[in-house]
Structure 1
Amino acid sequence: MQTAEIRRRFLDHFEKAGHTVVPSAPLLFDDPNLLFVNAGMVPFKPYFLGQETPPWRTATSVQKCVRTLDIEEVGKTTRHGTFFQMNGNFSFGDYFKEGAITHAWGLITGSVDDGGFGIDPDKIWVTVLHTDQEAREIWKRVAGLPDERIQDRGLLDNYWHMGVPGPGGPCSEIYVDRGPEFGPEGGPVVDEDRFLEIWNLVFMQEEITNVRAKDQFDVLGELPNKNIDTGMGLERVAYLLQGKHNLYEIDEVFPVIEKAAEVSGRTYGRDHTDDVRFRVIADHVRSGLMLMGDGVTPGNEARGYVLRRLLRRAVRSMRLLGFEDPALPLLLPVSLERMKASYPELEADFPRIEQIAYAEEHAFRQTLGKGTQIFESAAVAIKDEGGTSLSGDQAFALHDTYGFPIDLTLEMASEQGLSVDEDGFRSLMAEQRSRAKADAKAKKGSHADTTVYRAALDANGPTDWQAYTALTTESRVVALIGGGSSVPAIGAGTIGEVVLDRTPFYAESGGQNADAGHLVWDGGRAEVLDVQRPVRGLVVHQVRVLEGELTLDRTLEAAVDPEWRLGARQAHSGTHVVHAALREVLGPTALQSGSYNRPGYLRLDYGWSGPLSPGQIHDVEEVSNRALRADLPVTAQIMSLPEARAWGALALFGETYGEDVRVVEIGGPWSRELCGGTHVEHSSQIGTIVITSDGSVGAGHRRVEALTGIEGFQYLAKERDLVRQLTDVLKTQPEDVPGRVQDLMERLKASEKAAEKIKAAQLMGAAGDIAQGAKDVGGVAYVGHHAAGAGGGDVRTIALDIRKRLADRPAVVVVIGDAGDKPAAVVALNQGAQDRGLSANDLIKVVGQQIGGKGGGKADVAQGGGSDVTGIPAALAAVEAALA
């Protein structure tokens, strides 16, 4: 049974049972504690925590998930991958234990013809919490399971909670016996390889607090509404029903292994080391595809770094299999073919995805080149010093700073006849991982406490939000908050939070800054500093009271600054226009991946692999301003998310949308995007769009910045004034300024070259005088000269010229310059001095000790630098003393 079919059957089973099918949330779900969605219940967390009211009594989903704790272990076990899919069904105060068990049993043992999975009931085992006699009795009654196939376990295995105070409860796990060839008898408590867990049913029935560990917490009491949260690993069920031994061999994953084997010439299943590499490739290519599909781009931090590691580990593993050509163009399309059955949006977005992925592989191949040079330099230095091993510090620096994989370091060290201090490397890696885990643990449980906001919402209902239609409203204060708690009043000079029954203020979202303005009441006035939505449906204003006292139930006027709102509308509509212009000029793959706008300014991140040429920037700007001149209508409509997608509306990657969405159009289909921001009525009201920069923010990811409205005109006016000043100084016409500046630059370069020639002649002339002043020290002619103002190149020239003039006797020449307040030293010896056993390489070290630096070279010439120009006299004296 194909994985997509298993997925379809799961959703169909619960939809027929009255559950609402909820689409998978993006992997970049808005949760402050998570890089990615890592469990099927994550999108439902606000409902389980009581932060929001669920819109349905029962729901079902197949949620995309990514777990990244042990990426290095991928491929070494048979059932753990980075990306996976979690089937789940959820009840919010509807059915409980018996309903969950009945639904699960009916699906897994139901016949294939009737839409079930057709698993033999005699192969099913379950575990329950040792104190949950109720669940045991339900399994016996509903499924007819005998006592010996219902096994008790403790809190560590069969109790679920989020690791923070909140809901929790016992769980019951469902296992399938794969047969004696996979392990011993005795059920899951004996062997979890033979007895494969496929489904976990969580019975949320208690409120817990003082969480100290997974099995250490205090129970406050029963939850008022008992909930159900289940999770079935789709990949595990797939390899069970497809007769495979691990998740890497299922239909959605194995074709990538087959392709990797084909192009590398290696065979899967013959060698354990190669098999791990094949599995890493298959897992990471699929995981990377799904992450990029949800808007992640490679980078050096957080989510971007995870994606970068996955793609680079896949490329590295192909190299270790002997394949050194670009690999992702061969592998990524194979993964797409297998995943598009469940996620058809991947195919439409693949031009953008492959552009990002291939740019990242190209960058990594260049990194490998740089890392190879660094490694080879280190290897030469180790051998010169008589060493045989690359230190753990060096291997870690190659890995951490340059992205050089440890496997490749080991391979290249072996080729050079060197070993690597793997223990030292892995110790440093463990320290880094511990720091990361400690940081994650410190952040865990940092869910914003929304209790006070929930209370305000429950007491007063949702805020009547009128930002699309009004700049002022007559409003009533329904809640005041200070220091995280409700307060009766906010006095003058104090900053606090205000909840109104209705408001015209736009709350920050979708990249648009919150509105500015004032609250005014009889005898008082407050400045609005920020506007947010801490819980769905509630708008909260952060204010500074300027005059009087603001109290509960006060009637006031809420007034948005009209100039601020106008500028914000111009910038937000301008963002849509620039996005449409980018796609018109560059093509449909130049899709927005993030944005920010405030009055007069917009910033738009988009997928593209290289910098825009001046001509492309000009074209984007021209297309944008022609759209403004065309006075295109700007309209907004509310529709369902499927309708919006069918209509061709573009969605911002990583955003979470509800069932109904707002689609903003500019000029009809020319610009059609999902957006909750405020906009102008016609494009001409944007005023102007002036692109000020285009820069890189990561591989395959760029950022364009622009000004709109009066700010755009002011920018152009400053440029006009600058040109006017240049024409006055150069006494020419504006169109002739570039030519005049180019002419001046060429003349300046010519003058600098002439000056250098004069300087060189002066240096050569001085060399004769300096040579005549040589001292006899220890039987050799010694010249120690401080060349004031000279740099490294001049210092070498002077030293070699002086040495040439002393060819008739053994000579040692030391010249130290101080250009830029940085000592630059050269020691030059003729053959006579070398015949006496002297070495420039030894003497440059004497110099370095005095000027705070080091150097090196050969017996005849050595050079170096330092940081302390005050040590130059001492350095010259030290060499003289050494010779004496």
Structure 2
Amino acid sequence: MQTHEIRKRFLDHFVNAGHTEVPSASVILDDPNLLFVNAGMVQFVPYFLGQQTPPWNRATSVQKCIRTPDIDEVGITTRHNTFFQMAGNFSFGDYFKKGAIEFAWTLLTNPQDQGGYGFDPERLWATVYLDDDEAIALWQEVAGLPLDRIQRRGMADNYWSMGIPGPCGPSSEIYYDRGPEYGVEGGPEANEDRYIEIWNLVFMQNERGQGTSKEDFEILGPLPRKNIDTGMGVERVACLLQDVDNVYETDLLRPVIDLVAGLAPRGYGQGNHDDDVRYRIIADHSRTAAIIIGDGVSPGNEGRGYVLRRLLRRIIRAAKLLGVDQPVMSELMTTVRDAMAPSYPELATDFDRIHRIAVAEETAFNRTLASGSRLFDEAARATKASGASVLSGSDAFTLHDTYGFPLELTLEMAAESGLSVDEEGFRGLMAEQRRRAKADAAARKQAHSDLSAYRDLVDAGPTEFTGFNELTSEAKILGIFVDGQRVPVVSHDARQDRVELILDRTPFYAESGGQIADEGAITGAGASSAAKAAVTDVQKIAKTLWAHRVNVESGEFVEGDTIVAAVDPRWRHGATQGHSGTHMVHAALRQVLGPNAVQAGSLNRPGYLRFDFNWQGALNDDQRTQIEEVTNEAVEADFEVHSFTTGLEKAKAMGAMALFGENYPDEVRVVEIGGPFSLELCGGTHVRSSAQIGPVTILGESSVGSGVRRVEAYVGLDSFRHLAKERALMAGLASSLKVPSEEVPARVANLVERLRAAEKELDRMRLANARAAAANAAAGAEVLGKVRVVAQRMAGGMSAADLRTLVGDVRGKLGSDPAVVALIAEGDNDTVPFVVAVNPAAQDLGLRANDLVKPFGAPVNGRGGGKADLAQGSGKGAAGIDAALAALRAELGRS
């Protein structure tokens, strides 16, 4: 049975049983505890926590999930993936243990011609929590499982929570016995390779407190209502139904393995465990990378971008270790698309962007590999020169941490060079890094925000937003909150750390979609007309309530009062200019650069906008000019701005642009500017026609991460003011240079060229003088023991490169006798560069430049390093230069 069919049967089974099918959420959700969605229940967390009332009592989904804590273990075990599909059914206060067990057992054991999976009931086992006698009785009653195929296990295995305060409960896991060829008998307790877990039923009935592990937390009491959360591993079920040895050989991953096997000199499944692991890494990571890119992530140096970059680089490294020297990413992404698109059609519709990002990272990493190889060569030469045969753990760790070299690649290169590697030292440094990372993650992890105080208001219905049609609305105060606690009244003289007013309707735009919140005022009406508050921020609670952050300036506000909410019209006008300008710049970018220039984020406020987009490489001057011209031509055309609400799929079919990683409801708002010029899904406020945006001036374009660029611009009066300043600056330059404005660029370029020529001449003269001084120093070299020594302070302003040049000159003039040259100077920016050189004859006496540079640098608060013949460093304490020279002489005197 193909994986797509397994998914379909699961969803059909539960839809037929009265569940609402809920589409998979993006793997990126706004949750402070999650880098990626890692479980099927994550998108339902607000319902389990009681923060929101679910729109249905029963739901089912197949959720895209990513787990990356143990990336290094992928492929070593045969049942774990970084990306996996978690099929689940959920009950919110509806059925409980009996229903969950009945639904799972029926789907697993019903014959395939009746819509089930057709598993042999005699090969299924169940585990339950230690004291869950009810679950044991139900397994016997519903499934007919004998007691000897039901095992009790502790909290670590059969008690579920999110790892933070919140809902929790005992669980019951279903296992399939793969047979004696996979290990000893005795059930899941005896061997989880033979008995493989395929489904986990969580009976969510309690609330947990703080704790430090899976077993160390307090049970605070029962939840208001009991819920069901289950998760069936689609990949594991596919492995069993397709009768393959492991999850990497199912129909969705095996095509990638076969592709690579056609390129590599060594095949898959030929008895080489290390090679098989590499094949599995490539198969697993290729699919995960495509999913992550598809949901809007680009490679970067932190967070999700770092994880994506690491996955892509592990693919490339694994391929090289298999002997594949040619680029592979293009074919890998194509193969993943073909395998996965029936379930995730966005991988096909967005393939050009996914392909471009993955291939660009491969190209960049191949350059990095070349740099890392040079570092390895230097480390190998230094190791051999010292007489050792073991590359240090610190060198191996530097290669891994800085250049992404896995230990296996370093081991292979070391073996080719006749060296081994200090693996224990490397693993010790890796363990230390992991400890730091876990400590950082634990420090960031937190309980979900407590929104229970707002629960009654959330359940009562959403705030009505009137701001598309008016700037002033009469409204009723539904709730008043001070520091998150509901209060009946708030007054001007009360402590106001954080005062929020919840209204039944409002014209204030709440911050979202890159547009910051409106500012304005809320005033009392009727008897409370003396009350006035300044609105400083507006945020959404549970995506439905508008919370107005206010400073109460006079009077008091009482829950139930009628008030008048008024947006500052100048603020709103500037905000609409910025937001509409963002749409215009986006459209211009795509017109100039093509459809791969896709939005990656934005921010707009009155008079200003910034727009992030996926793109490789900086824009040139012509492209920037074109983007600005296309934008302003559209402004001048005075396009009508039209908004309407329609179905999500219909909007996409119309070509409306959506933000990657954003979850949209079934009904969406579309903003159209000039017909086909700009069509985007957007809930923000906009001008009525494009001419109201005013001039758009692009301030600059820069990088904000690998594959992501940022354009910043002024609009409206802010744009005009900026241009006026630029004009005044140009007029001032023209006056100073006594040329017409149009000749200023050429005159400035001429002056810059003349200045550069003068600086080069000064550098030449300075270096010539320094060489003369160095020659004199060589002639007057002192003798310490058996070594001729030149240790001298050079003229100020010299760089380390200058000193290296001089050291070479002096060393050459000292002939073949043992000689040491040490030069130091006061450099630019308060630095103190220093260089030490040791000729071959002095090295034969046991002197090493990389040893001498340490006492030389200490008095100037400097550090340095290098090789036996040449070492250098830099310090910050110029007052210690004389002491540094004395320390070097003393060290040489002792040798």
Q: Shared fold (TM-score greater than 0.5)?
A: yes
Shift of 1:252: 0.3
Residue deviations 1:459-480 (CA, integer Å, cap 9, x gap):
x643222222221122333322
Contact 1:163 1:445 in 2 (8 A): no
Counterpart residue number, 2:595: 588
Map residues 58-457 of structure 1 onto 2, 5 A cutoff. Answer: 58-209=58-209, 213-215=213-215, 217-270=217-270, 271-457=272-458
- Residue 703 of structure 1 is matched in structure 2 by 710
> For residue 12 of structure 2, what is the aligned residue in structure 1?
12
User: What is the CA-CA distance between 1:265 and the residue it aligns to?
Assistant: 1.8
Residue identity in the other structure for 2:53: T
Aligned pairs for 1:638-653 (under 5 A) are 638-653=645-660
Query: Counterparts of 1:204 and 1:834 in 2: how far apart (Å)?
Result: 76
Q: What SS does the corresponding residue of 1:655 show, helix, strand or coil?
A: coil
Structure 1 residue 217: Cα displacement: 4.8
The residue type equivalent to 1:301 in the other structure is E
Look up the match of 2:481.
481
1:869 to 858, 878, 889: 878
Match among 494, 497, 500 for residue 496 of structure 2: 494
| Range moving further from structure 2, 117-126 or 846-855 | 846-855
State whether residues 149 and 187 of structure 2, in contact with CA within 8 Å, keep that contact through their aligned partners in structure 1.
Answer: yes
Check the 8 A contact 2:634/2:690 in 1, yes or no. yes
**C-alpha deviation, 1:287, in angstroms:** 0.5
The C-alpha deviation readout for 1:26-74, integer Å capped at 9, x for no partner, is: 0002222111111111111111111101111211111000011211111
Contact 1:86 1:233 in 2 (8 A): yes
Whether 1:712 aligns to 2:719 is yes
Query: 2 CA distance for matches of 1:635 and 1:473?
Result: 23
Equivalent position SS for 2:541: coil
- The more displaced of 540-549 and 679-688 is 540-549
- In 2, Cα distance between the equivalents of 1:120 and 1:811? 84
Is residue 575–residue 603 contact of structure 1 (8 Å, CA) maintained in 2?
A: yes
Match of 1:613 in 2: 620
For residues 855 and 92 of structure 1, the distance between their equivalents in structure 2, rounded to whole angstroms, comes to 64
8 Å contact kept, 2:820–2:842: no
Q: Which amino acid aligns with 2:310?
A: R
CA offset at residue 631 of structure 1? 1.7
- 1:263 aligned counterpart, secondary structure: coil
Distance 1:848 1:655, change over 3 A: closer
Q: Following the alignment from structure 1 to structure 2, what is the Cα–Cα distance between the partners of residues 147 and 861?
A: 75
Instruction: Note the alpha carbon deviations across 1:790-819, whole angstroms, 9 max, x for none.
Output: 625776888898999999x99999765434
**Deviation at 1:846?**
7.7
Displacement of 1:455 in angstroms is 3.6
Is the CA contact (8 Å cut-off) linking 2:168 and 2:205 kept in structure 1?
yes
Indicate conservation of the 8 Å contact 2:585/2:627, yes or no: yes
> Quick check: 811-820 or 200-209, which moved more?
811-820
Query: SS at the partner of 2:175?
Result: strand
Look up the match of 2:747.
740
For the structure 1 residues 384 and 775, does the alpha-carbon distance in structure 2 shift closer, same or farther, using more than 3 Å as the test? Answer: closer
- Pair 776,308 (structure 1): closer, same or farther in 2 beyond 3 Å: closer
1:540 aligns with 2:540: no
Amino acid at match of 1:595: S
Could you tell me how far apart the structure 1 residues matched to 2:662 and 2:806 are? 65
Q: Secondary structure at the match of 1:325?
A: coil
Q: CA deviation at 1:497?
A: 1.7
Note the residue ranges of structure 2 that are not aligned, 5 or more in a row. none
Equivalent position amino acid for 2:194 in 1: R
In the superposition, relative to structure 1, how do residues 613 and 144 fare at CA in structure 2: closer, same or farther (>3 Å)?
same
Residues 52 and 536 in structure 1, CA contact (< 8 A), matched pair in contact too: no
Q: What amino acid sits opposite 2:62 in the alignment?
A: V
Contact 2:382 2:867 in 1 (8 A): no
The 1:806/1:480 distance shift into structure 2, 3 A limit, reads: closer
Q: Deviations over 1:153-202 (max 9, x none)?
A: 44443333333343333333222232232233333333332232222222
1:574 paired to 2:574:
no
Which residue identity does 2:110 align to in structure 1? Answer: G
CA contact (8 A) 2:500 2:550 kept: yes
Task: From the superposition, tell whether residues 877 and 586 of structure 1 become closer, same or farther in structure 2 (CA, over 3 Å).
Answer: closer
How many residues matched? 882
1:711-790 maps to which residues of 2 (within 5 A)?
711-756=718-763, 786-789=793-796
Q: Which amino acid aligns with 1:630?
A: A
For the Cα contact (< 8 Å) 2:778–2:790, is it kept in 1? Answer: yes
**1:555 and 2:548 correspond:** no
Change (3 A) 1:186 1:709: same
The answer as to 2:671 corresponding to 1:664 is yes
- Contact 1:570 1:708 (8 Å CA) reproduced: yes
Instruction: For 1:379, give the aligned amino acid.
Output: A
Distance change >3 Å, CA 315–CA 523, structure 1 → 2: same
Deviation larger for 855-864 or 107-116: 855-864
Match of 1:55 in 2: 55
- State the distance in 1 between where 2:422 and 2:839 align: 43
Give the C-alpha shift of residue 867 in structure 1: 4.2
| Percent of paired sites with the same residue | 56
**Residue 668 (structure 1) shift:** 2.5
SS at match of 1:533: strand
Deviates more, 1:468-477 or 1:720-729: 468-477
How far does residue 866 in structure 1 lie from its aligned partner after superposition? 5.1
What is the deviation of 1:684?
1.6
CA contact (8 A) 1:839 1:858 kept: no
506, 513, 516: which one aligns with 1:513: 516
Moved more, 479-488 or 733-742: 479-488
Question: What is the one-letter code of the residue matched to 1:497?
Answer: E
The one-letter code sitting in structure 1 at the alignment partner of 2:523 is: V
3-state SS in 1 of match to 2:263:
helix
- SS in structure 1 at match of 2:672: strand
Structure 1 gaps of 5+ residues are none
| C-alpha distance in 2 between matches for 1:721 and 1:373 | 52
**Separation in structure 2 between the aligned mates of residue 133 and residue 771 of structure 1, nearest angstrom:** 92
Choose the corresponding residue for 1:634, options 632, 636, 641. Answer: 641
TM-fit CA distance, 1:828: 9.5
Distance 1:878 1:182, change over 3 A: closer
Q: 1:235 Cα deviation (Å)? A: 0.4
Contact 2:286 2:315 (8 Å CA) reproduced: yes
Q: Is the 8 A contact 1:834 1:859 kept in 2?
A: no
Separation (CA, whole Å) in 1 of partners of 2:769 and 2:182: 87
Q: Tell me, in whole angstroms, the C-alpha distance in 2 between the residues paired with 1:880 and 1:584.
A: 68
Q: Is the aligned partner of 1:687 residue 2:694?
A: yes
CA contact (8 A) 1:160 1:202 kept: yes
TM-score for both structures, normalised by structure 1? 0.91
Give the distance between the partners of 1:878 and 1:15, measured in 2 at CA. Answer: 82
Q: TM-score, normalised by structure 2?
A: 0.90
d(CA) in 1 for partners of 2:843 and 2:475?
97
Cα distance in 1, alignment partners of residues 140 and 802 from structure 2: 93
- 1:79 is displaced (CA, Å) by 0.7
* CA distance in structure 2 between the partners assigned to 1:673 and 1:388 by the alignment: 62
C-alpha contact 1:689 1:707 (8 A) present in aligned 2 = yes
Q: Note the C-alpha offset of 1:675.
A: 1.4
- Cα deviation, 1:590-617, whole Å, max 9, x if unaligned, reads 1112122111222222111111111111
Q: 1: distance between equivalents of 2:150 and 2:835?
A: 83
Q: Distance in 1 between matches of 2:645 and 2:227?
A: 32
In 1, the alpha carbon distance for the partners of 2:663 and 2:124 equals 38
Deviation track 1:414-435 (CA, whole Å, cap 9, x = no partner) reads: 2333332222222222232233
- State the shift of 1:316 in Å: 0.8
Measured after TM superposition, the shift of residue 726 of structure 1 is: 1.3
